[in-house]
Amino acid sequence: HQFPTDIGWIEVICGSMYSGKTEELIRRIKRAVYGKQVVQVFKPKLDNRYDETQVVSHSQLKLTSIPIERAEEIFLHLAPRTQVVGIDEVQFFGPEVVSVCEALANRGLRVVVAGLDQDYQGRPFEPMPQLLAIAEYVTKQLAICVVCGNPANRSQRLVDRGERVVVGAAGAYEARCRKCHRAEP
């Protein structure tokens, strides 16, 4: 993309688990750093699968980040010189993350968010639909279906915990295509 230089905007990276959302977020943030941009990356605090202060991809790429509980905390941490804000696992924030992203972009910042667009039953994972609607740039990533090898847009839950999201459970999900996905584990 040829990005604008004098206004802010929102980029959304979405897809299933293992589709490379975090890798793509890390790639974009690292390129911004090469471009001498001041960046800050945030992630929800509930996600303690790996190092608390790092965004880590399934392929072990890492990025320093600030863990926060609520999206509004971004304003408390935001440095005056920051030009690029990254948010990983954005689906874990409530609907207020939408207005937070809007406010940041309106201030002239580049906002790059990554998150699941569907839950384990294949339902839209709010607030992602709202973010997709207001974003300037949208990237939908696909994983590889571990059953049949087709492109996979769904996250198959393998264990039943009665919650919408099982955090920190290695082996709790796998990438599946439309044909191989089942709404229940």
Residue type, 43: K
Query: Which of ligand ADP, Zn ion, none has residue 101 at its interface (CB below 5 to 8 Å by kind)?
Result: none
Characterize the bridge pairing of strands 173-176 and 154-157: antiparallel
CA distance 121 to 55: 25
Structure tokens belonging to residue 39: 């960046």
Residue 148: other Cβ atoms inside 10 A: 11
- For residues 124 and 117, what is the distance between their CA atoms, to the nearest angstrom? 6
139 contributes a contact to ligand ADP by CB under 6 A: no
Q: Which listed range, 21-29, 32-40, 68-76, 97-105, lies at the site for ligand ADP (CB under 6 A)?
A: 21-29
Can residue 175 be called a binding residue for Zn ion (CB under 5 A)? Answer: no
Q: Which stretch binds Zn ion (CB under 5 A): 23-31, 77-85, 120-128, 138-146?
A: 138-146
Q: How far apart are CA 33 and CA 90, in angstroms?
A: 21
Q: How far is the CB of 166 from Zn ion (least distance, A)?
A: 21
33-72 residues in contact with ligand ADP (CB under 6 A) are 57-59
Q: From residue 79 to residue 118, what is the string marking binding to ligand ADP with x (rule CB under 6 A)? A: ----------------------------------------
CB closer to ligand ADP, 135 vs 145: 145
Considering only 147, 151, 166, 167, the residue that binds Zn ion (CB under 5 A) is: 147
- Which stretches of 56-118 are DSSP H helices? 73-77, 96-106
Closest distance of CB 151 from Zn ion, Å: 9
Q: In the annotation, is 102 catalytic?
A: no
Burial of 173 (0-12, 13-18, 19+ CB in 10 A): buried
Rounded Cα gap, residues 167 and 47, in angstroms? 6
The size of the chain, in residues, is 185
From the list ligand ADP, Zn ion, none, partner contacted by residue 180 (C-beta under 5 to 8 A by kind):
Zn ion
Kindly list the catalytic residues.
89
Binding-site ranges for ligand ADP (CB under 6 A): 15, 17-23, 57-59, 143-144, 146, 175
